[in-house]
Amino acid sequence: MDWQARFGRPPRYAGVSTFAHVPAATSPDGLDVAVFGVPCDSATTYRSGARHAPAAIRAVSGLLREYHPWWRVAPFEALRVGDLGDVPVVPAYVDETLRAVRDWTAGVVEAGAFPMAMGGDHSVTLPLVRAVAARHGTLSLVQFDSHPDTWDTEHGQRHGHGTWVRRAVEEGLIDPAASVQVGIRGSVDAAGDLDEARALGLRLIPMDEAAEIGVAAVVARVRETVRSPVYVTLDIDAADPSCAPGTGTPEVGGFSAREMLALVRGLRGLPIVGFDVVEVCPAFDPGQITALLAANLMYEMLCLLASRG
Amino acid sequence: MDWQARFGRPPRYAGVSTFAHVPAATSPDGLDVAVFGVPCDSATTYRSGARHAPAAIRAVSGLLREYHPWWRVAPFEALRVGDLGDVPVVPAYVDETLRAVRDWTAGVVEAGAFPMAMGGDHSVTLPLVRAVAARHGTLSLVQFDSHPDTWDTEHGQRHGHGTWVRRAVEEGLIDPAASVQVGIRGSVDAAGDLDEARALGLRLIPMDEAAEIGVAAVVARVRETVRSPVYVTLDIDAADPSCAPGTGTPEVGGFSAREMLALVRGLRGLPIVGFDVVEVCPAFDPGQITALLAANLMYEMLCLLASRG
Amino acid sequence: MDWQARFGRPPRYAGVSTFAHVPAATSPDGLDVAVFGVPCDSATTYRSGARHAPAAIRAVSGLLREYHPWWRVAPFEALRVGDLGDVPVVPAYVDETLRAVRDWTAGVVEAGAFPMAMGGDHSVTLPLVRAVAARHGTLSLVQFDSHPDTWDTEHGQRHGHGTWVRRAVEEGLIDPAASVQVGIRGSVDAAGDLDEARALGLRLIPMDEAAEIGVAAVVARVRETVRSPVYVTLDIDAADPSCAPGTGTPEVGGFSAREMLALVRGLRGLPIVGFDVVEVCPAFDPGQITALLAANLMYEMLCLLASRG
Amino acid sequence: MDWQARFGRPPRYAGVSTFAHVPAATSPDGLDVAVFGVPCDSATTYRSGARHAPAAIRAVSGLLREYHPWWRVAPFEALRVGDLGDVPVVPAYVDETLRAVRDWTAGVVEAGAFPMAMGGDHSVTLPLVRAVAARHGTLSLVQFDSHPDTWDTEHGQRHGHGTWVRRAVEEGLIDPAASVQVGIRGSVDAAGDLDEARALGLRLIPMDEAAEIGVAAVVARVRETVRSPVYVTLDIDAADPSCAPGTGTPEVGGFSAREMLALVRGLRGLPIVGFDVVEVCPAFDPGQITALLAANLMYEMLCLLASRG
Amino acid sequence: MDWQARFGRPPRYAGVSTFAHVPAATSPDGLDVAVFGVPCDSATTYRSGARHAPAAIRAVSGLLREYHPWWRVAPFEALRVGDLGDVPVVPAYVDETLRAVRDWTAGVVEAGAFPMAMGGDHSVTLPLVRAVAARHGTLSLVQFDSHPDTWDTEHGQRHGHGTWVRRAVEEGLIDPAASVQVGIRGSVDAAGDLDEARALGLRLIPMDEAAEIGVAAVVARVRETVRSPVYVTLDIDAADPSCAPGTGTPEVGGFSAREMLALVRGLRGLPIVGFDVVEVCPAFDPGQITALLAANLMYEMLCLLASRG
Amino acid sequence: MDWQARFGRPPRYAGVSTFAHVPAATSPDGLDVAVFGVPCDSATTYRSGARHAPAAIRAVSGLLREYHPWWRVAPFEALRVGDLGDVPVVPAYVDETLRAVRDWTAGVVEAGAFPMAMGGDHSVTLPLVRAVAARHGTLSLVQFDSHPDTWDTEHGQRHGHGTWVRRAVEEGLIDPAASVQVGIRGSVDAAGDLDEARALGLRLIPMDEAAEIGVAAVVARVRETVRSPVYVTLDIDAADPSCAPGTGTPEVGGFSAREMLALVRGLRGLPIVGFDVVEVCPAFDPGQITALLAANLMYEMLCLLASRG
């Protein structure tokens, strides 16, 4: 007899750890949403440690419960959500890692499941987008981030956590005219950096502008920019370091947690086909609040998916 | 000769630690306000450690000085405040703990002192309210919190940090129609959870609504709801995790520290008869800012009491 | 198709976390060894947090590999080991918790599996021993610990992390004459405390004596004391705080990690029928070395079991 | 051959650490801006550790890049900036320390370089101002701080981190009528404390008022108050503890990081002749966000200086 | 009625914090042993923070219980021990601090109490010895330390945590021929540094030698060196950083905790007239094991005093 | 005029941070010893963060002073030692990183300087050995480590922190018959793992054996095994986690710090031509004791080099 059925569930902080206590899945077959980790941090340019993010997010995600009063939805009832474990990345070998992530994600989308990934550093979004675009066609990208990630090379190499957007545009995976980057701020390498991002055709909403116009207006601009299908990537450093200290390249002056929640809620109804939260770095998150914010933003996205019926 | 009189006081960070360096009291007799700790955390449902909160709050409370410019009052001159130490709770035995807290608090209110308690997890508010209501009659409850704490049972038991409000209503200790919960947010167990809180008759001001209408309007609603006498309980998780990472069940998207101060100041003039700050969890508060926020909110309440003459 | 079979295993630090990456089990049926957690800390008398120990031990146990050169054994090949998850303890309700642990463990031993538990505070050993003795008869106890845990009451109550040995003797679960406590040290409540332990009939090897005679002689004494069947309980505070800072009631001057390994290895060949490691407290273990020591001592015991064929 | 020229620069997190990877300077000659540390914390009244602030700020300042999109300026191209190392302070000897800081700073301003200092506790601003005023005449002071630092004595002594403003006024170094203190809040020693600050002639903008009128209005008041030349001192405790937990005497309810950035940007065009950031305390800053905020505020000031051509 | 008598004592981790829950004393009159803190760290040459040591030691000292099995003594019954609080040191003013410590200690010894001090950095031992020698005459010094502290000046000044031994010899407070330094190790400023210590007449037992001959032989040498009366100073950095990470100037390769206990026990029967434990630095002691070791060594000394009847 | 000459040196905890305050060097020309960092951690198999090790070691190395009493040598007088900064590694690109380290080290040895490297993970030793062997011929390897690092592949790839020894043997860089691995312990992937290391011809001294025979005998075996020239690599995980918690793949039961010092001292007089200390991981080293041990072991090696005249 199943032991949990016999004895009941342990308290929420306990038990073998999957995301939000959803079932561990050995395959995406039959799932509506496949949650999985991409535990790599080789491509980080400052503080490393994002490889431990999936474990850290799972650890605090036990706080998440069944029903969301704002969305008025019970996502785990409305959707079959499973935790597929972590992609077998290859530390120090970026090409092999990119391939592993793409193949894994391809399997997920082929099975008809929505891919919801926990990075890892931001370099993992490229193979995620490759797999999702192979299935759904050219994507609109909604990127919450403090950095545009549109460099051509990083340390002289093509793949890093700061080059993936350019690669995605070059490969035709995303339609820049239907894509938008929200929360960009901080110093850059050269005068032209942000212009280069714009030259790629991407819409930028820098943090200063976002703060000035307010979250509701930001949401409106995002919604007027994107076209179906939409991929959402959320670098946790879009949030202010007070809310997200545990990240590799923090930038002061970002969104508050309340604003982050409102931004994701603002995507309600959009035809989203993939989602990731990246750059959580537990070694600098002693109070676990960064991982908690990431877990909640994933939960908001699950509610969004559940609410579209 | 008294050693401190002879040599003077040590720097504020030093000396045997009482709350804000008020005198250690061996009895509440003669006190206007009795500060005490309730160092239990057995009933916490996620991260434990709140038993160490009274010590942590005392440790940083040395930063508090004699005069508050906003209130224009010197609370330790206006009031006789003493630190009574900690209630002899019984770890792992919740009934015995509840009884100990009630008896202790009963002694405090019988001596004519205002009880100001430092939890401990939120289960301790039930015996506090039992003792205060026994003295002052049915109470209006003002609860700053991210959770309504209105479950019927928790882990199949009647007493936990999430059931005490229901118990208090059932026992007639608080008048739900004159009570209000401010800052409620986050996921719940089932669709009806918040409705159940409302079904008890309590007024809820969820965080989303509070953020929308602003703190001044929240304060107005609180003031129009309550009737004399008022008990105020402040779960530190009402504040955003950026301001209060050190708590057992953090919920992202809460009040800022500035808003928390404004909320307490907004209670000015209300006939408050008891106060507690609960759920500080020092193990997740490496910068001590959660304990510091708790200490300051206690200080604000002392100023409120002092300002009513 | 199974996802892991298709894509391979992720790096050892990754994946859904079970102890040492053994399979998650939904029942003990068919297992030789059932690893499980008992995530409670209500009964701790000083620093709380042991409820998070099973998660912390699992997190670092990914470092454990397949083969142990000293034992010359591959425990996960030799034995069917599964991670059964955590017992549904009832925080703050000690009687209910003791019952839940006993029932769960009874199910494990009835299924023919060896119970290997991760506490939790030391109060959990009583129900473990209750269940094991119900199956195997009166037990010899080998206890590595800095405290004898032979008080009659704690905070005036019968169950705590310092009373379970007395209860076990009173209930006839263990044969004191065949039982031994190793590593006892530190201050006690009264002159007679250790005498009382001895009066129960238990053999004590205080730390001072252990340090003087050396680990090999300690092992010899243990082996000459015990009779079949043997239950081994290992309070991580037997180790010195330098090796095990993350525990609730640390006592300076304990065993080194090398000595701890040697002590467990010294049990080779004994007819052991149950094992637990308790009192790991992750909140005070920022380098994770306490959890790592616990994980390794569990692994040594698995090798011991595997080596007896 | 120069090794870096031959092999290239290491990643930004690496290399021998100067502020923002500017060249280490052995003298201020030829520099437009001399960055240096004043690593003392003897005068702190609560949590010590600010002596390690210069090292901590340098460590995270590697995140700063070459170009600032808001200012549209590349400060390290526009200005010759060097890191002069740390002043040889004399721990425990305050007079000797004050003298060392003044002499060092005098050398800097005599060489024609702009002094940009990283404290240390706030007592170091007095000798900084002494040296700068000796060169530029009586100064307008812009002080971002939660404390007015206008006590007459501290622990019965004339020099501390809470008395330096009074000393500076007494010595005629600053013109109080052209000076302003922004962000003052928290409890004080006596009813008259803030009045005394005002009695010195200083303009105060308490935090409550600043929050009410908003940052733009605060900036306007600052600009209407000051006269040439201006010295800016920034106590990191002006920021809220959520953004700056790592400081010696934190006060809840301060400016957000976004507001801090806006305040410094609001000084654009003012004739600033010296700047310091003080009171960063790394021991209470496990996520490094306080040091990062300090580094960014220094970077904003560099951009301000660069933008005035 | 006394509240504690009425309700009983709270658990050992709770209550207003004095050393080992001994009574807070307002004067040394009537005490056999006066425990007090000297919370200064201005004179530290590396990591600051020792000012918080008395609070940290008190916080963990609640673990200490009434009876010590090795000594077979109940120190708090045998002796009247009180916690006198902390000396009003003057941060940043070393001369004033030295004077305050001497006057305070003079009052203690004049009252007939044994002074047991918790530093603070090691500069505080000079005024302690001044006061004790004024009462008892020239002292034999037993110093457990990794550094000889016999420099002539530090940062060009006479008082620091590395010069106090030379000052004590110069002032005739200690008889070098009857004094011994145990555990000296690590790099020094110049070839002659240890020779200078020897030239003062002090006996040195460097760590290498101590490790070679063993603790029993070290104890024998100490006992053959000293003459009545004896002052014992214990710099926690005598212990290895694995046992005492939280100290200002750690030196690898020191004594284990077990050896430290044995060293203090080896002083049994000596005519000791004063004792201090210094250089605990809580900011680098996240597991609290350094403070715990210090608390235990104080407890051992109390037992030593109690055992001499 | 040079600023430091004019004002003097700041306290040892201060100043722009090079290793032990040796001069920053822009080239190895003229140096006897070139200290440099190799800040990569991509190849780590468990906890990442070793990229920050050079910065962490430099930060605590300010504690190192000029003269070593045991060696009776002043290494910075006897040798011209410079800190060359960090190798421009390429995160996530292991081949490029290996090439960069080899080229850099080749430049160092060609300039006649002794290379002393601070890792980084252990994969960096391969290119170090490549460069040193190219200059000095086939090397004797002395490896202090808990792991043999003789796998053929890791995650299916040829380069990792667990494969470099096999690569070095295959490439003929080291003579296995003259090489020795000291401290090997812990679980391995398969029964044959250690046999494979031995099959390569390497001598192994497992930890169990080392503990049994003692450090002096270990040293003797090392000395009888090696032939000129010798390369020494020191994985900090050779030390016990109590002494070195901050490392990526800790193994319990290792050498104490005292034993580590003795092991390096035991190499006195050997013809050593290169040295590295690897695998320090600051994120898990909150007390900085791991970095401090590493810094001291580097200092011991400098003394060894200085003592051979």
C194 touches chain B (CB under 8 A): no
Beta carbons of B296 and D241 less than 8 Å apart: no
**Unique residue bearing structure tokens 């939660």:** D146
| Residue B191 pLDDT > 90 | no
Beta carbons of E193 and F68 less than 8 Å apart: no
B250 touches chain A (CB under 8 A): yes
* Contacting residues of A for F44, CB less than 8 Å apart: 91
Give the nearest chain B residue to A239 (CA atoms).
B242
Give the nearest chain E residue to C290 (CA atoms).
E287
Beta carbons of B243 and D240 less than 8 Å apart: yes
Beta carbons of C55 and A28 less than 8 Å apart: no
- Give the pLDDT of residue E110: 97
E10: nearest CB among B2, B8, B85? B85
What are all long-range contacts of C150-153, with beta carbons under 8 Å and residues at least 24 apart? C150/C193, C150/C196, C150/C197, C150/C200, C150/C202, C151/C189, C151/C193
- Give the pLDDT of residue B197: 84
Cα–Cα dist F161/A232, whole Å: 35
Beta carbons of D240 and B258 less than 8 Å apart: yes
Beta carbons of C3 and A103 less than 8 Å apart: no
Give the nearest chain E residue to F68 (CA atoms).
E187
A14: nearest CB among C26, C39, C286? C39
**Gyration radius from chain A CA atoms:** 18
Would you tell me which residues 266-305 of chain B have a C-beta closer than 8 angstroms to some C-beta of chain A?
284-286
B13: nearest CB among D46, D193, D245? D46
Beta carbons of F189 and C66 less than 8 Å apart: yes
Beta carbons of E72 and C286 less than 8 Å apart: no
DSSP code at position F113: P
* Contacting residues of D for F16, CB less than 8 Å apart: 16-18, 24, 58, 83, 85-86
CA distances from E309 to A258, D75, E232, F42 (A): 66, 73, 19, 63
- Give the pLDDT of residue C309: 66
CATH number listed for the domain at residues A50-307: 3.40.800.10
Beta carbons of B88 and E3 less than 8 Å apart: no
Mean pLDDT along residues B259-286: 98
* Contacting residues of C for F240, CB less than 8 Å apart: 243, 256-258
**Unique residue bearing structure tokens 């690109």:** F93
Give the nearest chain D residue to B239 (CA atoms).
D242
Show the tokens assigned to B99. Answer: 């009884």
Cα–Cα dist B292/F285, whole Å: 26
Q: What are the structural domain ranges in chain C?
A: 33-307
- Nearest-CA distance D50 → chain F (Å): 11
Q: In whole numbers, what is the pLDDT of chain C averaged over residues?
A: 96
Show the tokens assigned to A66. Answer: 């069944």
Question: At the topology level of CATH, where does E29-307 sit?
Answer: Arginase; Chain A (3.40.800)
A154 touches chain D (CB under 8 A): no
* Contacting residues of D for B289, CB less than 8 Å apart: 241-242, 245, 250, 252
Cα–Cα dist B177/B204, whole Å: 11
Which of A40, A42, A247 would best serve as a mutation to test chain F binding (most F beta carbons within 10 A)?
A42
**pLDDT tens for each residue of F16-73:** 889 999 999 999 999 999 999 999 998 898 999 999 999 999 999 999 999 999 999 9
Give the nearest chain A residue to C35 (CA atoms).
A16
* Contacting residues of B for E9, CB less than 8 Å apart: 88
- Nearest-CA distance B64 → chain D (Å): 6
**pLDDT tens for each residue of A71-120:** 999 999 999 999 999 999 998 899 999 999 999 999 999 999 999 999 99
Residue type, B275: F
Mean pLDDT is lowest, of A273-287, C6-20, F129-143, for C6-20
- Nearest-CA distance E113 → chain D (Å): 28
Q: Are E3 and B28 in contact (CB under 8 A)?
A: yes
DSSP code at position F8: -
Mean pLDDT along residues E99-128: 97
- Give the pLDDT of residue B192: 82
B43 touches chain C (CB under 8 A): yes
E83 touches chain C (CB under 8 A): no
Q: Are A307 and A34 in contact (CB under 8 A)?
A: no
Identify the band that residue A309 occupies on the pLDDT scale cut at 50, 70 and 90.
Answer: low
- Give the pLDDT of residue A239: 98
F37 touches chain D (CB under 8 A): yes
DSSP code at position D122: G
Identify the band that residue B117 occupies on the pLDDT scale cut at 50, 70 and 90.
Answer: very high
B65: nearest CB among D189, D245, D256? D189
Q: Are D167 and D123 in contact (CB under 8 A)?
A: no
Cα–Cα dist D270/A73, whole Å: 54
- Nearest-CA distance E51 → chain D (Å): 8
F242: nearest CB among C62, C243, C261? C243
Beta carbons of F283 and A44 less than 8 Å apart: no
- Find the helix or strand (DSSP H, E) in which B84 lies: strand B81-86
Q: What is the ipTM of this complex?
A: 0.96
Q: How many other CB atoms are found less than 10 A from the CB of residue C265?
A: 17
**Unique residue bearing structure tokens 């969820």:** B206
- Give the pLDDT of residue F309: 65
Q: In whole numbers, what is the pLDDT of chain B averaged over residues?
A: 96
C42 touches chain E (CB under 8 A): no
* Contacting residues of E for F289, CB less than 8 Å apart: 241-242, 245, 250, 252
* Contacting residues of B for D285, CB less than 8 Å apart: 287
- Find the helix or strand (DSSP H, E) in which F206 lies: strand F203-206
F47 touches chain A (CB under 8 A): yes
Residue F155 backbone zone (phi > 0: left; psi -120 to 50: alpha; other: beta):
left
D94 touches chain E (CB under 8 A): yes
User: pTM to 2 decimals?
Assistant: 0.98
Neighbors of chain C by Cβ distance (3+ pairs < 8 Å): A, B, E, F
Which of A122, A151, A155 would best serve as a mutation to test chain F binding (most F beta carbons within 10 A)?
A155
Q: Are E122 and E234 in contact (CB under 8 A)?
A: no
Q: Are D108 and D36 in contact (CB under 8 A)?
A: yes
Mean pLDDT in order along chain F per 10 residues (309 residues): 88 93 96 98 93 98 96 97 97 94 98 97 98 98 96 91 96 98 94 86 96 97 97 98 98 98 98 98 97 98 93
B87 touches chain E (CB under 8 A): yes
| Residue E309 pLDDT > 80 | no
**Domain B31-307 sits in CATH 3.40.800.10:** yes
E43 touches chain D (CB under 8 A): yes
A95 touches chain F (CB under 8 A): no
Query: What CATH architecture does domain F25-307 belong to?
Result: 3-Layer(aba) Sandwich (3.40)
**Domain C33-307 sits in CATH 3.40.800.10:** yes
| Residue B309 pLDDT > 70 | no
Show the tokens assigned to B62. Answer: 């040395």
Report whether the peptide linkage leading into residue E120 is cis, meaning its omega lies within 30 degrees of zero. Answer: yes
- Nearest-CA distance D30 → chain F (Å): 12
F194 touches chain E (CB under 8 A): no
F67: nearest CB among E185, E187, E246? E187
Cα–Cα dist F309/F307, whole Å: 5
* Contacting residues of E for B49, CB less than 8 Å apart: none
Class of residue B30 by CB neighbours under 10 A (exposed 0-12, middle 13-18, buried 19+): exposed
| Residue B172 pLDDT > 80 | yes
C155: nearest CB among B45, B52, B91? B91
E21 touches chain C (CB under 8 A): no
